[in-house]
Amino acid sequence: MPFTSERLKQFEEIKKRYPEGRHKSALLPILHLVQEDHGWLPVAAMDEVAEVLDIKPIEVYEVATFYTMFHVKPVGKYVLEICRTGPCCLVGAENIIQYLKEKLNIEEGETTKDGLFTLKPVECLASCGTGPVLQIGPDYKYHEHLTIEKIDSLIDELRSKG
Ligand code: FES
Protein backbone atom coordinates (compact mmCIF):
# COMPACT_ATOMS: atom_id res chain seq x y z
CA MET A 1 0.00 0.00 0.00
CA PRO A 2 2.36 2.69 -1.19
CA PHE A 3 1.71 6.23 -0.07
CA THR A 4 0.40 8.70 -2.62
CA SER A 5 2.84 11.28 -3.94
CA GLU A 6 0.79 13.92 -2.14
CA ARG A 7 1.22 12.11 1.19
CA LEU A 8 4.95 11.63 0.59
CA LYS A 9 5.25 15.35 -0.07
CA GLN A 10 3.41 16.07 3.20
CA PHE A 11 5.76 13.71 5.05
CA GLU A 12 8.76 15.59 3.66
CA GLU A 13 7.23 18.91 4.78
CA ILE A 14 6.67 17.52 8.27
CA LYS A 15 10.27 16.24 8.43
CA LYS A 16 11.52 19.75 7.64
CA ARG A 17 9.98 21.01 10.89
CA TYR A 18 12.64 19.16 12.85
CA PRO A 19 16.42 19.60 12.96
CA GLU A 20 18.62 17.36 10.84
CA GLY A 21 19.01 13.99 12.51
CA ARG A 22 15.73 14.35 14.42
CA HIS A 23 13.45 12.82 11.78
CA LYS A 24 11.99 10.48 14.36
CA SER A 25 10.24 13.49 15.87
CA ALA A 26 8.07 13.55 12.75
CA LEU A 27 6.72 10.12 13.59
CA LEU A 28 3.61 11.18 15.54
CA PRO A 29 2.21 13.64 12.97
CA ILE A 30 2.97 11.19 10.16
CA LEU A 31 1.24 8.31 11.95
CA HIS A 32 -1.85 10.49 12.38
CA LEU A 33 -1.97 11.01 8.61
CA VAL A 34 -1.48 7.31 7.93
CA GLN A 35 -4.28 6.45 10.34
CA GLU A 36 -6.48 9.02 8.62
CA ASP A 37 -5.92 7.17 5.34
CA HIS A 38 -6.57 3.65 6.61
CA GLY A 39 -8.63 4.09 9.77
CA TRP A 40 -5.87 2.16 11.56
CA LEU A 41 -2.14 1.43 11.16
CA PRO A 42 -1.42 -1.66 9.07
CA VAL A 43 2.06 -3.14 9.58
CA ALA A 44 2.94 -2.60 5.92
CA ALA A 45 2.16 1.11 6.25
CA MET A 46 4.19 1.37 9.47
CA ASP A 47 7.10 -0.30 7.69
CA GLU A 48 6.88 2.30 4.95
CA VAL A 49 6.86 5.05 7.56
CA ALA A 50 10.07 3.58 8.97
CA GLU A 51 11.64 3.82 5.51
CA VAL A 52 10.45 7.40 5.07
CA LEU A 53 12.01 8.38 8.40
CA ASP A 54 15.05 6.14 8.04
CA ILE A 55 14.39 4.43 11.35
CA LYS A 56 13.80 0.80 12.30
CA PRO A 57 10.25 -0.60 11.96
CA ILE A 58 10.32 -1.57 15.65
CA GLU A 59 10.68 2.12 16.54
CA VAL A 60 7.43 2.81 14.71
CA TYR A 61 5.63 -0.16 16.31
CA GLU A 62 6.77 0.97 19.77
CA VAL A 63 5.19 4.38 19.34
CA ALA A 64 2.05 3.06 17.63
CA THR A 65 1.38 0.58 20.42
CA PHE A 66 2.23 3.01 23.23
CA TYR A 67 -0.37 5.66 22.40
CA THR A 68 -3.98 4.52 22.64
CA MET A 69 -4.97 7.10 20.02
CA PHE A 70 -3.37 4.81 17.44
CA HIS A 71 -5.09 1.61 16.35
CA VAL A 72 -2.86 -1.29 15.35
CA LYS A 73 -5.78 -3.39 14.21
CA PRO A 74 -8.95 -2.50 12.34
CA VAL A 75 -11.57 -0.71 14.42
CA GLY A 76 -15.26 0.00 14.11
CA LYS A 77 -16.77 3.18 12.75
CA TYR A 78 -17.04 4.50 16.32
CA VAL A 79 -14.23 3.90 18.79
CA LEU A 80 -15.48 4.10 22.37
CA GLU A 81 -12.46 5.13 24.39
CA ILE A 82 -13.52 5.09 28.02
CA CYS A 83 -11.25 6.14 30.83
CA ARG A 84 -10.48 3.36 33.30
CA THR A 85 -8.08 5.23 35.56
CA GLY A 86 -8.64 5.55 39.33
CA PRO A 87 -10.62 8.80 39.64
CA CYS A 88 -13.08 7.73 36.94
CA CYS A 89 -13.38 4.27 38.52
CA LEU A 90 -14.29 5.93 41.82
CA VAL A 91 -17.35 7.41 40.13
CA GLY A 92 -18.43 4.29 38.28
CA ALA A 93 -16.31 3.83 35.15
CA GLU A 94 -15.98 0.08 35.74
CA ASN A 95 -19.75 -0.30 35.83
CA ILE A 96 -20.06 1.66 32.60
CA ILE A 97 -17.40 -0.50 30.93
CA GLN A 98 -19.19 -3.66 32.07
CA TYR A 99 -22.50 -2.28 30.84
CA LEU A 100 -21.02 -1.45 27.43
CA LYS A 101 -19.53 -4.95 27.15
CA GLU A 102 -22.92 -6.52 27.83
CA LYS A 103 -24.89 -4.07 25.71
CA LEU A 104 -22.61 -4.42 22.70
CA ASN A 105 -21.81 -8.08 23.32
CA ILE A 106 -18.06 -7.53 22.95
CA GLU A 107 -15.01 -7.65 25.18
CA GLU A 108 -12.46 -4.87 25.61
CA GLY A 109 -10.57 -4.28 22.36
CA GLU A 110 -13.23 -5.97 20.26
CA THR A 111 -15.51 -4.63 17.55
CA THR A 112 -19.20 -5.37 17.16
CA LYS A 113 -20.17 -7.72 14.32
CA ASP A 114 -21.88 -4.89 12.44
CA GLY A 115 -18.55 -3.00 12.42
CA LEU A 116 -20.02 -0.01 14.24
CA PHE A 117 -18.39 -0.01 17.67
CA THR A 118 -14.98 -0.81 19.13
CA LEU A 119 -14.64 -0.74 22.91
CA LYS A 120 -11.25 0.53 23.99
CA PRO A 121 -10.71 1.36 27.66
CA VAL A 122 -7.87 3.86 27.97
CA GLU A 123 -5.93 5.61 30.68
CA CYS A 124 -6.71 9.10 32.00
CA LEU A 125 -8.35 11.41 29.45
CA ALA A 126 -7.40 14.48 31.49
CA SER A 127 -10.94 15.25 32.51
CA CYS A 128 -10.83 13.60 35.92
CA GLY A 129 -13.32 15.97 37.54
CA THR A 130 -16.09 15.09 35.11
CA GLY A 131 -15.89 11.29 35.16
CA PRO A 132 -16.81 8.80 34.08
CA VAL A 133 -15.52 10.04 30.73
CA LEU A 134 -15.77 8.62 27.24
CA GLN A 135 -14.36 10.00 24.03
CA ILE A 136 -15.72 8.68 20.80
CA GLY A 137 -13.68 8.50 17.60
CA PRO A 138 -13.42 9.42 14.84
CA ASP A 139 -14.00 13.00 16.02
CA TYR A 140 -13.05 12.22 19.64
CA LYS A 141 -15.71 14.36 21.24
CA TYR A 142 -15.88 14.01 25.03
CA HIS A 143 -18.93 12.69 26.87
CA GLU A 144 -18.76 13.32 30.59
CA HIS A 145 -20.57 12.42 33.83
CA LEU A 146 -21.64 9.20 32.13
CA THR A 147 -24.62 7.26 33.35
CA ILE A 148 -26.26 4.12 32.00
CA GLU A 149 -29.04 6.33 30.59
CA LYS A 150 -26.52 8.55 28.79
CA ILE A 151 -24.80 5.49 27.35
CA ASP A 152 -28.12 4.13 26.08
CA SER A 153 -29.00 7.34 24.32
CA LEU A 154 -25.49 7.78 22.89
CA ILE A 155 -25.46 4.26 21.45
CA ASP A 156 -29.00 4.72 20.07
CA GLU A 157 -27.98 7.98 18.45
CA LEU A 158 -24.86 6.48 16.84
CA ARG A 159 -26.77 3.40 15.66
CA SER A 160 -29.36 5.61 14.02
CA LYS A 161 -26.60 7.48 12.17
CA GLY A 162 -25.23 4.10 11.08
S1 FES B 1 -9.12 9.61 35.61
FE2 FES B 1 -10.61 9.58 34.05
S3 FES B 1 -10.20 11.39 32.97
FE4 FES B 1 -8.63 11.32 34.45
Average pLDDT over residues 14-39: 91
77: CB partners within 8 A, 6+ apart: 115, 116, 117, 138
- Give the domain-ending residue among 44, 66, 88: 66
What is the whole-number distance in angstroms between the Cα of residue 147 and the centre of ligand 1? 15
Instruction: Kindly report the number of other CB atoms within 10 A of residue 71's CB atom.
Output: 17
Residues in the chain: 162
Q: Does some domain include residue 57?
A: yes
- Give the domain-ending residue among 21, 41, 66: 66
3-state secondary structure of 155: helix
Q: What is the CATH number of the domain that holds 50?
A: 1.10.10.1590
Q: Are 68 and 109 in contact (CB under 8 A)?
A: no
Q: Which atom of ligand 1 is nearest to the CA of 127?
A: 3
What is the whole-number distance in angstroms between the Cα of residue 135 and the centre of ligand 1? 11
- Ligand 1-lining residues (CB < 6 angstroms): 83, 85, 87-88, 124-128, 131, 133
Q: 27: domain range? A: 5-66
The answer to whether residue 106 scores a pLDDT higher than 90 is yes
Question: Residue 37 is which amino acid?
Answer: D
- Residue 106 and residue 34 share a domain: no
**pLDDT-based confidence at residue 23 (cuts at 50, 70, 90):** confident
pLDDT of residue 22: 82
- Residue 86 and residue 109 share a domain: yes
Q: Are 153 and 134 in contact (CB under 8 A)?
A: no
- Of 138, 157, 75, give the one whose Cα is nearest residue 108: 75
What is the whole-number distance in angstroms between the Cα of residue 18 and the centre of ligand 1? 32
**pLDDT-based confidence at residue 35 (cuts at 50, 70, 90):** very high
- Residue 156 and residue 108 share a domain: yes
* 117-150: pLDDT as tens digits: 999 999 999 999 999 999 998 888 999 999 999 9
- Give the domain-ending residue among 46, 66, 86: 66
Cα-trace Rg, the chain: 18
**pLDDT-based confidence at residue 113 (cuts at 50, 70, 90):** very high
- Residue 118 and residue 148 share a domain: yes
What is the whole-number distance in angstroms between the Cα of residue 130 and the centre of ligand 1? 8
Q: Which atom of ligand 1 is nearest to the CA of 85?
A: 1
- Residue 136 and residue 83 share a domain: yes
pLDDT of residue 139: 85
- Residue 156 and residue 84 share a domain: yes
- Of 43, 17, 19, give the one whose Cα is nearest residue 31: 43
Instruction: Kindly report the number of other CB atoms within 10 A of residue 103's CB atom.
Output: 15
